[in-house]
Structure 1
Amino acid sequence: MVAWTGLWMQRIAVSWLAWELTGSAFWVGMVAFCDLAPAVLISPLAGAMADRVDRVKLAMWTQVAIALQAMAVAGLTYSGHMTIALLLVLEVCGGTASSFAQPARQTLMPGIVARADLPAAVAANSLCFAVARFIGPAIAGPVIAIWGVVPAIAGNAVGYLFACLTIALLRVDPKERRGHPVSKSLGAEVVEGLRYAARHPGLGPLLLYAALGALMLRGVQEILPPFVERLFGRGAESLAVLTACFGIGALITGLWVASRGRLEGVTRLAIFGALAQAIATVGFVATGYFPLGMLCAALIGGFASMHGISVQTLIQSATDPTYRGRMLSLWGLITRAFPALGALGLGAAGEVFGLQWPTLVAVALFLGVFGWGMTRLRRMEAELEGPPASPGGETGRS
């Protein structure tokens, strides 16, 4: 909770810093791209690493790296030496560390709770993220408005150092602390994980649907400053308010999913959650009325949370334990790299056509993806909501 609060403080601050340095939606999108894009190359390697090393130690050291990156951004900005080029390089460094941290942390979950509790545990994990998404911007907005971006970014360094110290207190089942004995090269295990995902009749289509949804729908959340200023005519305080609205929506939905606490119907939630997110996105960009924008932002956050919690729950439940780190790293790639690509495309198109029409075109394209997902829904439900995956098996069914 502390680390993610700092993370959201830094995200708001860095996004606003990029806007102050350049005044360009393209460069704001490029900063988001540099933070999230390393997942394209790093996430498969990070997943393979999480399946073969001590996951607790990997999580600790990656969180130290994130704290050091925040210190560097804050220090350069405070000294007046920050440029957009330096900011891009540092965001690549932070994105690389985060790509290793994500599978290391998430693969620990089955070592902490029983399989029957995984849906609620995944939802609780997402609730922490949603609460931090509300608290972080709520703190960052006034801080940026009064003292500038440096204190908000430094808060992330403090948060991640705290997280590094507390993760050592986790009691993890020794069998889940490591994935499997090392028998192949890292590259061979990466390829093996990709083949497992591609051949799995449930996970393959689910991950592809989630990736295309992230590409077409998440760009709005990644480049909010131009929307705040151009669409609503507001400043940093309203940027924090909108980001908090995303978090409030995610919090409410996460509470509902956590209380639901069962695997049945989760695949359907994943498919329809993304559709509802698309509809809410249309409402967000079609209005210049800020209160309605706040409502649509909450709906986007809520339905995106429903989709994300559902996909992660299915990955945790249906994946052979040997491949769990690699499958969760693919989920990390989807949630980091594909929104970055979407943000870059939306930012570039926004410079030429404005922000509304490119967003509406992306939503229209996603409707085709939703139609494809509906044709695969029954097969995915049978494969992902059936008996648990057996070690070494391709699916949860015999």
Structure 2
Amino acid sequence: MSDTPAQTVGASPTKRSFAALHHPGFRAQFITYVLAMMADNIEHVISYWVVFQKFQSPALGGFAIVSHWLPFLLFSVTSGALAERFDPRRVIQCGMALFILASLGWGYFFVTDTLQMWQAMVLLVIHGCAGVLWQTPNQMLLYDVVGSADLPSAVRLNAMARYLGVMVGPAVGGVILLALGPAYGIMLNTIFYLPLVLWLINAPYGPRFRTGAPVPQRAVRGFADIVQTMRDVRHRPVIVSMIALAGAASFFVGNAYSSQMPGFASDLGHGDPGMSYSMLLAADAAGGLLAGLALEGRQLLAPKPRTAILLALLWCGALAIFALTGHYAIALVFLFAAGFLELSFNAMAQSLVQLDAPLDKRGRVIGLFNMASLGLRAFSGISVGVIGSMIGIHWSLALSALATMVVAAGLLALP
């Protein structure tokens, strides 16, 4: 895989450390994004634990992944098209409203102790639909907030914000779970979505605030938009290779192991809902947070397709070792390494795609990338969760990491 196109895409990068944080708007976006991501993961910690304890079903854990990510597969491009045609701030606020609805729904069933499996499945689907209305419009908004020069920094810092939320969420979720119980804890969680909703009311970003000639608006056409966007990018090798890399990682592995973490914790001898379980969830996020701090602070690893692929190969190796080890301390170390490597290659791939995307199709191209990098995670619920119910989650995760490694090695071998 040649790096020549990437050098063109990433021309004239900023040399400032944490460049995007020099923009006041990005600082506000960063803080509110962290809080919303933290709330998302608090809900995961509490709901996954209750569901695991009540149903003891690896298959339901697999469904949690399918339902969370299938909306990204089906609607990411549509979400991008909506953010092109309408105000992306309002699309994000609709997503936050669905998150709050899901948390309140969990709270009701926990209080009344009436949760059934089908009700859990419905709430998991609502949560997944909320995410697809959030992520693609949010990534579009980054361009308006910081501009093209600081976009790589904003993408990496936004990925770090996601990991910060993922890291803090399990810790806060564990404390809330122990202090308030699942019912009142998950209802309290709705408060953390509100700062993003309130900031977006008057945030001066989006189509109304852009200078220059307005981008022509196109109708939202659903599946036809996916086909047309694929045609539009097929001659852009950087976009194609990064979508293929992100898609393979998501299809085989994704984050399916997070919903299976109670099972991993139990097998490692630490299956309680307190610190030990939360530390396993937080180790991956802590690695991602360190990656963001180190890479942004030192301005390391300029975006290049070959670098992204090599980092993905190392990520696969770290996950395979985590899956097969029987020692809790080793599991923590390699989950930490996996988090570091995942942020590094995913943020780099996303930056390359955003920088190379045509301005008049940015939302749809970002949506296509999200369809691969997030939507294909729905199938990782099958490869890790459902197959894990047959051969064990340790072997299913290890084999999924190996399959991703094969694809990444193939991309690396391309001219």
TM interval, shorter chain, is 0.7 to 0.9
1:333 aligns with 2:392: no
> Where does residue 7 of structure 2 map in the other structure?
none
Give the AA of the match of 1:239. Answer: Y
1:186 to 216, 221, 224: 221
Whether contact under 8 Å (1:50, 1:107) holds in the other structure is: yes
1:368 aligns with 2:406: yes
> Where does residue 277 of structure 1 map in the other structure?
315
> Where does residue 95 of structure 1 map in the other structure?
128
Whether contact under 8 Å (2:82, 2:220) holds in the other structure is: no
> Where does residue 15 of structure 2 map in the other structure?
none
Q: In the TM superposition, what are the counterparts of 1:277-296 in structure 2 within 5 Å?
A: 277-296=315-334
Cα distance 1:204–1:10, how it changes in 2: closer, same or farther (>3 A)?
Answer: same
Cα distance 1:169–1:204, how it changes in 2: closer, same or farther (>3 A)?
Answer: same
Whether contact under 8 Å (1:6, 1:155) holds in the other structure is: no
C-alpha displacement at 1:250, in angstroms? Answer: 0.3
Cα distance 1:151–1:258, how it changes in 2: closer, same or farther (>3 A)?
Answer: farther
1: CA distance between counterparts of 2:292 and 2:304? 13
Q: How many residue pairs are counted as aligned between the two chains?
A: 377
1:217 aligns with 2:274: no
C-alpha displacement at 1:254, in angstroms? Answer: 1.0
Give the AA of the match of 1:186. Answer: R
Q: In the TM superposition, what are the counterparts of 1:258-269 in structure 2 within 5 Å?
A: 258-261=296-299, 264-269=302-307
Whether contact under 8 Å (2:291, 2:343) holds in the other structure is: yes
Whether contact under 8 Å (1:245, 1:295) holds in the other structure is: yes
Cα distance 1:177–1:340, how it changes in 2: closer, same or farther (>3 A)?
Answer: farther
2: CA distance between counterparts of 1:29 and 1:44? 24
C-alpha displacement at 1:263, in angstroms? Answer: 7.9
State the secondary structure of the residue aligned to 1:370: helix
> Where does residue 16 of structure 2 map in the other structure?
none
Please list every run of 5 or more consecutive structure 2 residues that lacks an aligned counterpart in the other structure: 1-33
State the secondary structure of the residue aligned to 2:114: coil
1:206 aligns with 2:242: yes
Q: CA RMSD in A?
A: 2.3
Cα distance 1:146–1:6, how it changes in 2: closer, same or farther (>3 A)?
Answer: same
1: CA distance between counterparts of 2:110 and 2:373? 28
1: CA distance between counterparts of 2:353 and 2:57? 38
> Where does residue 53 of structure 1 map in the other structure?
86
> Where does residue 30 of structure 1 map in the other structure?
63
C-alpha displacement at 1:233, in angstroms? Answer: 4.4
1: CA distance between counterparts of 2:347 and 2:184? 31
State the secondary structure of the residue aligned to 1:288: coil
State the secondary structure of the residue aligned to 1:115: coil
2: CA distance between counterparts of 1:230 and 1:148? 24
2: CA distance between counterparts of 1:127 and 1:170? 22
2: CA distance between counterparts of 1:40 and 1:159? 27
Give the AA of the match of 2:61. Answer: V
Whether contact under 8 Å (1:119, 1:261) holds in the other structure is: no
Cα distance 1:139–1:183, how it changes in 2: closer, same or farther (>3 A)?
Answer: closer
2: CA distance between counterparts of 1:42 and 1:126? 21
1: CA distance between counterparts of 2:249 and 2:214? 30
State the secondary structure of the residue aligned to 2:271: coil
> Where does residue 392 of structure 1 map in the other structure?
none
2: CA distance between counterparts of 1:138 and 1:263? 30
Give the AA of the match of 1:8. Answer: N
Q: Percent identity?
A: 21
2: CA distance between counterparts of 1:235 and 1:101? 32
Whether contact under 8 Å (2:72, 2:375) holds in the other structure is: yes
C-alpha displacement at 1:135, in angstroms? Answer: 1.1
Q: Deviations over 1:169-219 (max 9, x none)?
A: 433262289984334452344432232233422211210111111222333
C-alpha displacement at 1:271, in angstroms? Answer: 0.8
1:355 aligns with 2:393: yes
Whether contact under 8 Å (1:117, 1:261) holds in the other structure is: no
Moved more, 156-165 or 298-307: 156-165
Cα distance 1:7–1:48, how it changes in 2: closer, same or farther (>3 A)?
Answer: same
State the secondary structure of the residue aligned to 2:387: helix
1: CA distance between counterparts of 2:361 and 2:61? 35
1: CA distance between counterparts of 2:271 and 2:296? 35
C-alpha displacement at 1:140, in angstroms? Answer: 1.0
Give the AA of the match of 1:75. Answer: Y
2: CA distance between counterparts of 1:266 and 1:331? 16
1:246 aligns with 2:284: yes
Whether contact under 8 Å (2:383, 2:400) holds in the other structure is: no
Give the AA of the match of 1:236. Answer: P
C-alpha displacement at 1:148, in angstroms? Answer: 2.7
> Where does residue 353 of structure 2 map in the other structure?
315
Cα distance 1:176–1:9, how it changes in 2: closer, same or farther (>3 A)?
Answer: farther
Whether contact under 8 Å (2:313, 2:409) holds in the other structure is: no
1: CA distance between counterparts of 2:211 and 2:362? 10
Q: TM-score, normalised by structure 1?
A: 0.88
Cα distance 1:175–1:360, how it changes in 2: closer, same or farther (>3 A)?
Answer: same
C-alpha displacement at 1:131, in angstroms? Answer: 1.4
Whether contact under 8 Å (2:312, 2:345) holds in the other structure is: yes
> Where does residue 127 of structure 1 map in the other structure?
160
1: CA distance between counterparts of 2:132 and 2:257? 21
Q: Deviations over 1:96-133 (max 9, x none)?
A: 12112111111011111132211111111122112111
Moved more, 217-226 or 38-47: 217-226
Whether contact under 8 Å (2:234, 2:240) holds in the other structure is: yes
Q: In the TM superposition, what are the counterparts of 1:64-103 in structure 2 within 5 Å?
A: 64-103=97-136
Give the AA of the match of 2:217. Answer: V
2: CA distance between counterparts of 1:334 and 1:148? 36
State the secondary structure of the residue aligned to 2:234: helix
C-alpha displacement at 1:89, in angstroms? Answer: 0.9
1: CA distance between counterparts of 2:299 and 2:159? 14
1: CA distance between counterparts of 2:151 and 2:411? 24
Whether contact under 8 Å (1:32, 1:223) holds in the other structure is: no
1: CA distance between counterparts of 2:102 and 2:379? 22
